[in-house]
Homo-oligomer: A and B are copies of this chain.
Protein backbone atom coordinates (compact mmCIF):
# COMPACT_ATOMS: atom_id res chain seq x y z
CA UNK A 1 0.00 0.00 0.00
CA UNK A 2 2.43 2.65 -1.23
CA UNK A 3 4.49 3.12 -4.38
CA UNK A 4 7.92 4.72 -4.69
CA UNK A 5 7.43 8.37 -3.89
CA UNK A 6 9.97 11.10 -4.78
CA UNK A 7 11.10 10.98 -1.17
CA UNK A 8 11.84 7.27 -1.17
CA UNK A 9 13.49 7.52 -4.56
CA UNK A 10 15.92 10.11 -3.22
CA UNK A 11 16.97 7.69 -0.52
CA UNK A 12 17.50 4.91 -3.04
CA UNK A 13 19.52 7.18 -5.28
CA UNK A 14 21.71 8.29 -2.42
CA UNK A 15 22.10 4.73 -1.15
CA UNK A 16 23.13 3.62 -4.62
CA UNK A 17 25.85 6.24 -4.90
CA UNK A 18 27.09 5.81 -1.34
CA UNK A 19 27.30 2.04 -1.63
CA UNK A 20 29.10 2.31 -4.94
CA UNK A 21 26.50 0.25 -6.75
CA UNK A 22 26.98 -2.85 -4.62
CA UNK A 23 24.20 -4.98 -3.18
CA UNK A 24 24.64 -5.55 0.54
CA UNK A 25 27.19 -2.77 1.02
CA UNK A 26 26.24 -1.06 4.29
CA UNK A 27 25.74 2.70 4.41
CA UNK A 28 25.59 4.53 7.73
CA UNK A 29 22.62 6.57 8.86
CA UNK A 30 24.76 9.68 9.17
CA UNK A 31 26.22 9.31 5.68
CA UNK A 32 22.70 9.21 4.28
CA UNK A 33 21.55 12.06 6.49
CA UNK A 34 24.35 14.36 5.42
CA UNK A 35 24.03 13.41 1.75
CA UNK A 36 20.29 14.08 1.81
CA UNK A 37 20.44 17.13 4.05
CA UNK A 38 18.05 15.58 6.55
CA UNK A 39 18.13 14.76 10.26
CA UNK A 40 19.52 11.32 11.22
CA UNK A 41 16.25 10.49 12.94
CA UNK A 42 14.43 11.00 9.65
CA UNK A 43 16.77 8.57 7.95
CA UNK A 44 16.16 5.88 10.53
CA UNK A 45 12.44 6.18 9.95
CA UNK A 46 12.68 6.26 6.19
CA UNK A 47 15.05 3.32 6.09
CA UNK A 48 12.54 1.32 8.10
CA UNK A 49 9.92 2.09 5.46
CA UNK A 50 12.28 1.07 2.68
CA UNK A 51 12.91 -2.14 4.58
CA UNK A 52 9.19 -2.90 4.76
CA UNK A 53 9.05 -2.57 0.99
CA UNK A 54 11.97 -4.92 0.54
CA UNK A 55 14.25 -2.28 -0.93
CA UNK A 56 16.89 -2.23 1.79
CA UNK A 57 18.18 -4.45 4.57
CA UNK A 58 18.61 -2.60 7.83
CA UNK A 59 20.72 -3.82 10.74
CA UNK A 60 20.06 -1.41 13.64
CA UNK A 61 23.08 0.60 14.71
CA UNK A 62 25.04 -0.93 11.87
CA UNK A 63 23.71 0.46 8.61
CA UNK A 64 21.39 0.02 5.65
CA UNK A 65 22.24 -1.83 2.46
CA UNK A 66 20.39 -2.12 -0.82
CA UNK A 67 18.65 -5.30 -1.86
CA UNK A 68 18.57 -6.43 -5.47
CA UNK A 69 15.39 -4.53 -6.23
CA UNK A 70 16.53 -1.52 -4.24
CA UNK A 71 19.73 -1.40 -6.24
CA UNK A 72 17.82 -1.54 -9.50
CA UNK A 73 15.58 1.35 -8.48
CA UNK A 74 18.47 3.40 -7.18
CA UNK A 75 20.45 2.85 -10.34
CA UNK A 76 17.46 3.92 -12.42
CA UNK A 77 17.30 7.20 -10.50
CA UNK A 78 20.98 7.91 -10.97
CA UNK A 79 20.58 7.06 -14.62
CA UNK A 80 17.58 9.35 -15.03
CA UNK A 81 19.43 12.12 -13.27
CA UNK A 82 22.45 11.90 -15.55
CA UNK A 83 20.37 11.50 -18.69
CA UNK A 84 18.55 14.72 -17.90
CA UNK A 85 21.81 16.53 -17.18
CA UNK A 86 23.10 15.46 -20.57
CA UNK A 87 19.92 16.70 -22.18
CA UNK A 88 19.90 20.02 -20.37
CA UNK A 89 23.50 20.76 -21.27
CA UNK A 90 23.80 19.27 -24.76
CA UNK A 91 20.35 19.99 -26.11
CA UNK A 92 18.91 22.89 -24.13
CA UNK A 93 22.33 24.53 -23.80
CA UNK A 94 22.04 25.18 -20.09
CA UNK A 95 25.23 25.75 -18.08
CA UNK A 96 26.74 22.69 -16.44
CA UNK A 97 26.64 24.33 -13.02
CA UNK A 98 22.88 24.79 -13.02
CA UNK A 99 21.65 21.43 -14.24
CA UNK A 100 22.09 19.33 -11.11
CA UNK A 101 19.08 20.72 -9.27
CA UNK A 102 16.88 20.65 -12.35
CA UNK A 103 17.80 17.02 -13.03
CA UNK A 104 17.19 16.14 -9.41
CA UNK A 105 13.57 17.19 -9.80
CA UNK A 106 13.07 15.72 -13.27
CA UNK A 107 14.48 12.29 -12.36
CA UNK A 108 11.40 11.51 -10.23
CA UNK A 109 9.01 12.52 -12.98
CA UNK A 110 10.52 10.09 -15.46
CA UNK A 111 8.90 6.78 -16.35
CA UNK A 112 11.08 3.92 -17.61
CA UNK A 113 9.44 4.38 -20.99
CA UNK A 114 10.35 8.05 -21.13
CA UNK A 115 13.89 7.28 -19.97
CA UNK A 116 14.27 4.90 -22.90
CA UNK A 117 13.14 7.50 -25.43
CA UNK A 118 15.38 10.12 -23.88
CA UNK A 119 18.41 7.82 -23.89
CA UNK A 120 17.81 6.88 -27.51
CA UNK A 121 17.46 10.52 -28.50
CA UNK A 122 20.76 11.30 -26.77
CA UNK A 123 22.41 8.27 -28.47
CA UNK A 124 22.89 6.42 -25.21
CA UNK A 125 25.46 8.64 -23.53
CA UNK A 126 28.01 7.01 -21.24
CA UNK A 127 28.58 9.88 -18.83
CA UNK A 128 26.88 12.98 -17.48
CA UNK A 129 28.34 16.40 -18.36
CA UNK A 130 30.47 16.26 -15.21
CA UNK A 131 32.02 12.96 -16.19
CA UNK A 132 30.07 10.51 -14.04
CA UNK A 133 29.00 7.25 -15.70
CA UNK A 134 25.38 6.39 -16.45
CA UNK A 135 24.29 3.03 -15.06
CA UNK A 136 23.73 0.97 -18.20
CA UNK A 137 20.48 -0.77 -19.12
CA UNK A 138 19.57 -3.94 -20.96
CA UNK A 139 17.78 -3.76 -24.28
CA UNK A 140 14.54 -4.09 -22.33
CA UNK A 141 15.37 -0.93 -20.43
CA UNK A 142 16.04 -2.55 -17.05
CA UNK A 143 19.16 -1.35 -15.34
CA UNK A 144 21.97 -3.86 -15.73
CA UNK A 145 23.25 -5.60 -12.64
CA UNK A 146 25.38 -8.72 -12.99
CA UNK A 147 25.65 -11.08 -10.06
CA UNK A 148 26.22 -9.36 -6.78
CA UNK A 149 27.76 -6.13 -7.98
CA UNK A 150 27.28 -3.89 -10.94
CA UNK A 151 29.52 -1.18 -12.31
CA UNK A 152 30.41 1.68 -9.97
CA UNK A 153 28.36 4.85 -10.31
CA UNK A 154 31.30 6.92 -9.19
CA UNK A 155 33.87 8.68 -11.29
CA UNK A 156 37.02 6.95 -12.45
CA UNK A 157 40.50 8.46 -12.39
CA UNK A 158 42.58 9.88 -9.55
CA UNK A 159 42.27 13.28 -7.90
CA UNK A 160 44.36 15.83 -9.73
CA UNK A 161 45.90 16.96 -6.47
CA UNK A 162 47.45 13.53 -5.82
CA UNK A 163 49.37 13.39 -9.09
CA UNK A 164 53.15 13.69 -9.46
CA UNK A 165 54.82 16.35 -11.63
CA UNK A 166 55.27 15.03 -15.15
CA UNK A 167 51.92 13.27 -15.21
CA UNK A 168 49.96 13.77 -18.42
CA UNK A 169 46.33 12.75 -18.72
CA UNK A 170 42.85 14.00 -19.30
CA UNK A 171 40.12 15.19 -16.96
CA UNK A 172 37.64 12.41 -16.33
CA UNK A 173 35.23 14.10 -13.95
CA UNK A 174 34.58 17.23 -11.92
CA UNK A 175 32.63 17.24 -8.68
CA UNK A 176 29.34 19.05 -9.09
CA UNK A 177 29.45 22.10 -6.84
CA UNK A 178 28.06 25.11 -8.74
CA UNK A 179 30.76 27.58 -7.74
CA UNK A 180 33.53 25.13 -8.48
CA UNK A 181 31.97 24.15 -11.79
CA UNK A 182 31.82 27.75 -12.92
CA UNK A 183 35.49 28.19 -12.16
CA UNK A 184 36.46 24.95 -13.90
CA UNK A 185 34.51 25.78 -17.05
CA UNK A 186 36.31 29.12 -17.12
CA UNK A 187 39.67 27.44 -16.63
CA UNK A 188 39.05 24.75 -19.23
CA UNK A 189 39.03 21.97 -16.66
CA UNK A 190 36.26 19.96 -18.30
CA UNK A 191 35.98 16.23 -18.93
CA UNK A 192 38.21 15.32 -21.85
CA UNK A 193 40.58 18.27 -21.42
CA UNK A 194 44.27 17.41 -21.51
CA UNK A 195 46.20 18.27 -18.33
CA UNK A 196 49.90 18.15 -17.53
CA UNK A 197 51.23 18.40 -14.01
CA UNK A 198 54.13 20.82 -14.26
CA UNK A 199 55.44 21.06 -10.71
CA UNK A 200 54.58 21.04 -7.05
CA UNK A 201 55.34 24.12 -4.96
CA UNK A 202 58.16 23.42 -2.46
CA UNK A 203 56.55 25.27 0.42
CA UNK A 204 52.86 25.84 -0.25
CA UNK A 205 50.28 23.15 -1.04
CA UNK A 206 50.05 24.16 -4.68
CA UNK A 207 50.32 22.24 -7.93
CA UNK A 208 51.22 23.97 -11.21
CA UNK A 209 49.12 22.45 -13.97
CA UNK A 210 48.99 23.08 -17.71
CA UNK A 211 45.51 22.80 -19.19
CA UNK A 212 44.72 22.37 -22.86
CA UNK A 213 46.61 21.17 -25.92
CA UNK A 214 49.66 19.32 -24.65
CA UNK A 215 51.56 20.55 -27.75
CA UNK A 216 54.25 23.11 -26.99
CA UNK A 217 52.31 26.25 -27.98
CA UNK A 218 48.81 26.36 -26.49
CA UNK A 219 47.70 25.62 -22.95
CA UNK A 220 47.19 27.82 -19.95
CA UNK A 221 48.98 27.29 -16.64
CA UNK A 222 46.96 27.12 -13.44
CA UNK A 223 47.74 26.97 -9.75
CA UNK A 224 45.76 24.20 -8.18
CA UNK A 225 45.36 23.80 -4.42
CA UNK A 226 43.82 20.91 -2.50
CA UNK A 227 40.34 22.38 -2.53
CA UNK A 228 40.10 22.39 -6.32
CA UNK A 229 42.59 19.59 -6.91
CA UNK A 230 40.55 17.04 -5.01
CA UNK A 231 37.38 17.82 -6.94
CA UNK A 232 38.92 17.22 -10.34
CA UNK A 233 39.72 13.65 -11.34
CA UNK A 234 42.18 12.74 -14.05
CA UNK A 235 42.92 9.53 -15.92
Interface residues of A (CB under 8 A from B): 88, 91-94, 98, 102, 105-106, 108-111, 113-114, 117-118, 121
CB distance from A105 to the nearest CB of B (A): 4
A102 nearest in chain B by CB position: B114
Is B94 a contact of A117 with CB atoms below 8 Å? Answer: yes
Residues of B contacting A110 in the complex (Cβ-Cβ under 8 angstroms): 105-106
Q: How many copies of the chain does the oligomer comprise?
A: 2
Residues of B contacting A109 in the complex (Cβ-Cβ under 8 angstroms): 102, 105-106, 108-109
Q: How long is the Cα–Cα vector from A105 to B110 in the complex, in angstroms?
A: 8
A120 nearest in chain B by CB position: B92
Is B102 a contact of A111 with CB atoms below 8 Å? Answer: yes
Q: Which of B102, B106, B118 contacts A92 (CB 8 A)?
A: B118
Residues of B contacting A111 in the complex (Cβ-Cβ under 8 angstroms): 102, 105
Q: How long is the Cα–Cα vector from A105 to B108 in the complex, in angstroms?
A: 8
Q: How long is the Cα–Cα vector from A114 to B88 in the complex, in angstroms?
A: 8
Residues of B contacting A91 in the complex (Cβ-Cβ under 8 angstroms): 121
Residues of B contacting A92 in the complex (Cβ-Cβ under 8 angstroms): 114, 117-118, 121
Q: How long is the Cα–Cα vector from A106 to B80 in the complex, in angstroms?
A: 13
A93 nearest in chain B by CB position: B117
A121 nearest in chain B by CB position: B92
Q: How long is the Cα–Cα vector from A225 to B179 in the complex, in angstroms?
A: 61
Residues of B contacting A105 in the complex (Cβ-Cβ under 8 angstroms): 109-111
- Residue contacts A-B, CB under 8 angstroms, 17 given: A88-B114, A88-B117, A92-B117, A92-B118, A92-B121, A94-B117, A98-B113, A102-B109, A102-B111, A102-B113, A105-B110, A105-B111, A106-B106, A106-B109, A106-B110, A108-B109, A109-B109
